[in-house]
Structures are given as structure tokens and as C-alpha cells.
Structure 1
Amino acid sequence: MAAGLGVLAPSSAAAGRRVHPGDSIQDAVNYARPGDTITVMPGTYYENVLITKRLTLRGYGARTVIRPPVTAVTPVAPVAPPATGASAQAPAAKPPATPATPATSATPATPATSGRALACSQADTGICVMGTAEQPVVDVDIHSLTVSGFKRNGIWASYTDRLSVQRVISEKNGTWGIAQERSTRGLFRDNTARDNAESGLFIANTVDREGGATDTLGAVVRRNTLTGNRIGVTVRRVRNLSVYGNNLTGNCGGIFVVGDEGEPGAGDMTIRNNRIHENNKFCKGNSRLPDIQGVGIVLTGAEETVIRSNDIRGNVGASPLSGGILLFKSFVGATNTDNVIRDNVVRDNKPADLANQGTGTGNQFVNNRCASSVPAGMC
């Protein structure tokens, strides 16, 4: 009976729940126990999803699509399921005449979860993973889903540890495709982020205030495909992570490493073995940045970052940021210091393959295969 209602009964070994078209993903999340796996069957689901506990949410890739609800609905706070028996199953949402939106729980939200739910709904984001400073959400796994067309973000995470986002398609969202702040040890692998208004993949210390860079404790951005975004990957005011094996093409800019005058500085990261070709889409500038076009890798206000063994070709534009690999003078006075750029293939980028601007010290350009540099002599 439980399977017929769209939710599988938890077993003693591994609890699992299954959501079918017409059911509510949020209901399944609310009633899941920590550690449960929720499988979202192929279909289109019109809702925002809020996750505040350890669980796995997985679908069938391009066949499982989460889109904005028809009318704005605040995701409800998680509730504790009954301990045993058939009553432990979540009531299934009946197939509606219009696309499904999250069901409403009769259980009142706590102030903390209510605030997180409201923030997620107001941001109009597809999937939110929201912890708190006192209690980060640990070991959430989002796997093989498509999140499309939200006004803000496809996936947004705050106060998480060991968040894993793999084989997700995040497309045509109004800000970021996949984004994380105030979090540690994130893994972002084999995702596709395309045609998002800002960064396809965005990792920051925090988005609502200035401050020194935070330690991600080894976050990994690996083997993602990023195309048609304003910027492929942005890492802002963070330290200790790796960006490798990604394919970036058709964005306005490839990879941005952004710091400011805060302490500690941004950096202490590795950017390697990425393919960064023809990111020549034009994006109009704003109050923070000039126009963006033809940008491979930009460092601004970064320190102790290693850029090696990347293939960077055909990034061409007339922006102050254009070119293959650019150490850019910071708008807020932060310098690029002690960075190493080595063993890269940097070809056919204009106005230059390599450029070192500003007054930073200790930056090394070693054994790069390139044709032009500013100042001359770095190839």
C-alpha cells in the first residue's frame, strides 16, 4: 500500500522513499528520517524543495525535472515521522488538475526552520539545503536531477558540511546554477550548469556581507560542464579548494578567483587540468565589474593559488578582463601575491595569452606554452 501511495516504507537496513509525478517531493523530505534516500521518478515537479537534514535526493537526470511552482508556496518545515507501522508513511499528494506544488503540513514549523523555509521561498530557488551556524546540515547528497527556470538559483546551500551535488543539470536560472556559502568540504562533480544569468557554479564565504576568506576544508569542483553562463565558475573569498577537470566554453568568462582586502586573503587553491575554450559570449558590466567577454581565468585579490596544466584557447574580447590567464588589478586595492602559473597551454587568446597587472609580488609564470604576454617575456 505504501508503495502505491508513492512513498516506500523504511526498512531496517536502508530506508527509501519514492516520489512519482503528482506527488510532493517536499512531503517526502519532511517525513524522511535522517539518512533516508528519496528517489524522484521521471517527470516534472513544480515546487521549491527545502532540505534541513541528512538525506539523499536522487532522480533520473534529464528525465526528472524540478521547475518553479505555478503559485509561490513556502516549503513547510520538516516533521518527525511516527515511529513505526503504516502510519509512518507520508500521505501522498493526489494528482492535481494543475502542476503540483508542495503540500501543506498540519504540523507547525519551528521558528528556525520556518525562517529557513521562508528564505528559500523568497529566493525562488529550486532546491535549498539550509543549516545554521550552530548546526550545519551534514552529508546531504543531491544526485541526477534537473533544476530549471527559477528566478534565483537552481541549487542553493548555506551552512553545510560534506554536501555532494553530482550529475545535476541546472539551467536557465536567474542568478546561480549551483551555489554554496558558509560551508565546508563540498563536492561538485559531473554536473552541467548552462545558461544561468550569473555563475554556473558559485562558492563563497558569504553573500550578504564582506569579510576575510573562509577555509572550505578541501572543497572539490570536478569534471563539470559549464556553458552559456555569465561566468563558468566563481570562487569568492574562500581558501583551500581545488577546481579541476572541468570543461568551460561559451560563457562570458571561464573561472574567476575573487578576493578583497579582508584577512585572510582568498586563495591557497589549485586550478588544474581544465579545458577553457572560447568563452566569448558578451555580458554587460555592472557596478562591480566591467564588461565580460573572452575571459579564460582571472585572479583578483588572490594569493598562493596554483594554476597548472590547463588548456586555455580562443578566449577573445575587448574587455579589461579579456585574455587567457589574467592577474587583474583589484578594484578595492587587494593584490595578487605569490601565485604560480605553470605548465599551461594558453593559445590564441586576445588581447594576450598571459597578463600580469597591478602591484602584486611573488607571482611566477613558468613553462607555459603561449605566444603573447603583457608584459612581454612571460611566454
Structure 2
Amino acid sequence: MTNRQIKSLTCIAVVMAAGLGVLTPSAAAAGRRVLPGDSIQEAVNFARPGDIITVMPGTYYENVLITKRVTLRGFGARTVIKPPVKATTPVNPVNPGTPVNPGTPVTPVTPVTPPEPGATGAPVAPGAAAAPGAAANGRALTCSQADTGICVMGTAEQPVVGVDIRSLTVSGFKRNGIWASHTDRLSVQRVIAENNGTWGIAQERSTRGLFRDNTARDNAESGLFIANTVDREGGATDTLGAVIRRNTLTGNRIGVTVRRVRNLAVYGNTATGNCGGIFVVGDEGEPGAGDMTIRNNRIHENNKFCKGNSRLPDIQGVGIVLTGAEQTVVRANSIRGNVGASPLSGGILLFKSFVGATNTDNVIQDNEVRDNKPADLANQGTGSGNRFLNNRCESSVPAGMC
């Protein structure tokens, strides 16, 4: 082959690589590595948009705030993020060269009174607005003071786009394992969220999220929670096709809760050992919650007992509940052995809303619903247009739906 032919082939290869989007090393995403004893937050702060931060195996005691497009990845159960260790005020030692005369009174140390809720310095609920002009600092305080593991937080004017969190464990936080607000295309995959005081993985005011192959266990509220907002009322958010797929949910109050959202898919998940499996929650706001698909989930023996509160009755033995939902398809799920005496107990339940919203135009079809008590299928309330088609079940309220 002549030198001229070699040069021609080289030029063709360069053109093809450019056309196929092959990146040169200088154009590829930069990588950063965090070792035990290092700060994940510091690596995030110094990362450029598009960087990949690899967190090596170990335990990291901190809150992490993400406000730009980065990938944060670890080694699954071997990379653990836990709450920061609270520092204690050291006691000043007595100077041995300055003896205290007998009988001299000692001035007691005045204890520090914790701030009242809502006061300056008090814990801030996730999703609360920061003071004008203090967005970045406000978001950081929101994350750390709320005792949340990883926060991904944008603003209404500038959502955070394309954050990827994968193969990490977030454990033991007072509030949430992962919390996201004002995001687009957030991806959370192969994360373990366990023993957190509110939600395992939660998102509000966001679109096109992907939650796949995660394990959420033993969280005080929902393992996975997707909502329009958590601090005000309002119509359902169009998630533009969010996906909750192939997650394992166990030991939580509720496996998956989707509240006042629409246009998403919940499929291929396993929920067992929770108080309830999947809740779809709407209200009288417009647009209504729904327009979603719940399919091919395995929802078995969610028979843990959870005491009721001001919003919900006791929860036990709950498979799938729709309350205030519209145009939702519940299809090809396996729902077995969910048994309880709660008003919400049973296999698939269209429940009357506490705020007067009705279930309308939902389709319950081709599900295997067996051994659930008090019934495999139940249709309560005054909603219209709901259809129960070709379900394999043994009991229903009212009778005749099996």
C-alpha cells in the first residue's frame, strides 16, 4: 500500500469517527476518584458538568448536595453514605498550674437551647424555598439540616439536568436517603436506600426520571416516592414519561407511592413485606393524577402493620390502591397473599378519596389476584368508567368482578 493510500484511509477514518460521535480523550468526561477519608462533597464541588465521580468502597459520613450534571457512582453495598457524626464541644481541661481555692463557686455552663421549628437555624424540610438571593447556600442548608443523604436540587428557573447516581448505599438518615427537586432526566440505578426516617428515594417537581434496579428497604415511609410537590397543594405534574422499573421494595410503610403526578410507568418491581405495595394518590386538583401504567409487578404478602395517622388509616395487607386517580392501567401484575383488616386491605382497591376526588376511567386487566383478604378486587366510591377485565381472582367487592 502506498503512502498516499495510507493517508487517504486515515482521513476517511477520522471523518467516520466524527460522524459516529466518537470522542477523543480530551472530549471525554473527566474522572474523579474519592477514597475513604476524602469528602464526596468536595469532589462534587470541584467537578465540571459531565464529570464522573467514582466513590471507592468504604463508609462516608456526610450529606452530599448536587446542583450540576455529574455522575456519582460507587460499588453498591461496599460504598456506604451515612449521617455525619455530630461533633461534640470539647471540655477545656483545668490548668494544673492554677489551683482552685476550696469553697470557690464554679459557674455552670449554660446549655444551648435548640431552635424552634421555623426559626433561623432550625431544620428545613426538603423542598422548602431558600431566601431570595441565597439559592445555593439555601439548598445546601436544606440538604444538611434535613438530614438527607444525597440531595439533587435545581430551581424552577434552572432545573438540574442529567444527574446519574448509581451503585451506592445511603443508610440511616433522619429524613431521606436520596431527595431530588427541580430535576430533569435524573437517573438513580442500583442504589440501596435503607433505614431512613422518611423516604428511601424521593423526587418532586421533576420530569423524565429513571429509577431502576434499586433496593429500598426498612424506610419509615415510602421506599420510592414521586410527587408533584411536598409543601403545597396543586394539580398533578406531568412527569413526561418517568420510569420506576425493577426495584425491590421491602420493609417500608409503602413500597411505591406516586402522588399527584401523571404520565409515568411503574413496572417489573417487587414489593413484599411492606405495609402496602403501590399507592396511586390524587386529589381534586387539575390536572388530575393518573394517565399511567402499572404492570408486571410482583406484589406479595405486604402484611406488615403500620399505625394510621391524620392522613391515612392503619395500613396492612395492601396490594395496589388507587385513590383519586384517572386513566390508569393496572395490568398483568401478580398480587398474592396481602391480608389485613385495614380499610385499605386487599389485592387491588379503588378507594374512596378522603378529599372527595373520584377514581375515573381506570382499567384493571389481566392481573393474577389471589389469596388477598378481605377481597382480591374492590371498587369503592362513586367514580365512573372504571373497568375490571379478565382478572384471575376469587373474590371481589361488589361481587361479580372476578
Structure 1 equivalent of residue 49 of structure 2: 34
Deviations 1:171-219 (A, max 9, x none): 0000000000000000000000000000000000000001110100000
List aligned pairs for 1:326-337, cutoff 5 A. 326-337=349-360
How far 1:121 moved relative to its partner? 1.1
3-state DSSP of counterpart to 1:319: coil
Structure 1 equivalent of residue 36 of structure 2: 21
Give the percent of matched residue pairs that are identical in Structure 1 and Structure 2: 90
Structure 1 equivalent of residue 388 of structure 2: 365
How far 1:12 moved relative to its partner? 4.6
2:315 aligned with 1:295:
no
Structure 2 equivalent of residue 121 of structure 1: 144
Pick aligned residue for 2:169 from 146, 160, 172: 146
3-state DSSP of counterpart to 1:330: coil
How far 1:11 moved relative to its partner? 5.3
How far 1:111 moved relative to its partner? 2.0
Question: What TM-score do you get using the length of structure 1 for normalisation?
Answer: 0.87
Structure 2 equivalent of residue 82 of structure 1: none
Structure 2 equivalent of residue 92 of structure 1: none
List aligned pairs for 1:205-224, cutoff 5 A. 205-224=228-247
Distance 1:313 1:169 in 2: 25
Distance 1:220 1:21 in 2: 33
How far 1:13 moved relative to its partner? 2.5
Distance 2:200 2:249 in 1: 10
Structure 2 equivalent of residue 191 of structure 1: 214
Letter in structure 1 aligned against 2:192: I
Deviations 1:294-338 (A, max 9, x none): 000000000000000000000000000000000000000000000
Pick aligned residue for 2:71 from 56, 59, 66: 56
Distance 2:86 2:364 in 1: 49
Letter in structure 2 aligned against 1:59: G
Cα RMSD (Å):
1.2
How far 1:170 moved relative to its partner? 0.2
Letter in structure 2 aligned against 1:206: T
2:292 aligned with 1:277:
no
Letter in structure 2 aligned against 1:319: S
Letter in structure 2 aligned against 1:165: V
Distance 1:12 1:163 in 2: 23
Distance 1:140 1:211 in 2: 26
List aligned pairs for 1:151-166, cutoff 5 A. 151-166=174-189
Distance 2:369 2:173 in 1: 36
List aligned pairs for 1:241-280, cutoff 5 A. 241-280=264-303
Distance 2:86 2:158 in 1: 31
Distance 2:28 2:249 in 1: 38
Structure 1 equivalent of residue 95 of structure 2: none
Higher radius of gyration, 1 or 2: 2
List aligned pairs for 1:311-330, cutoff 5 A. 311-330=334-353
Distance 1:262 1:152 in 2: 27
Distance 1:30 1:268 in 2: 38
Structure 1 equivalent of residue 377 of structure 2: 354
Deviations 1:121-151 (A, max 9, x none): 1211000000000000000000000000000
How far 1:71 moved relative to its partner? 2.1
Distance 2:354 2:228 in 1: 19
Structure 1 stretches lacking a partner, 5+ long: 1-9, 73-109
Distance 1:135 1:202 in 2: 22
How far 1:112 moved relative to its partner? 1.3
Structure 1 equivalent of residue 260 of structure 2: 237
Flag as ranges the 4+ runs of structure 1 deviating above 4 A. Answer: none
Distance 2:44 2:372 in 1: 47
Structure 1 equivalent of residue 400 of structure 2: 377
How far 1:48 moved relative to its partner? 0.1
Question: What TM-score do you get using the length of structure 2 for normalisation?
Answer: 0.82
Structure 2 equivalent of residue 200 of structure 1: 223
Distance 1:33 1:360 in 2: 51
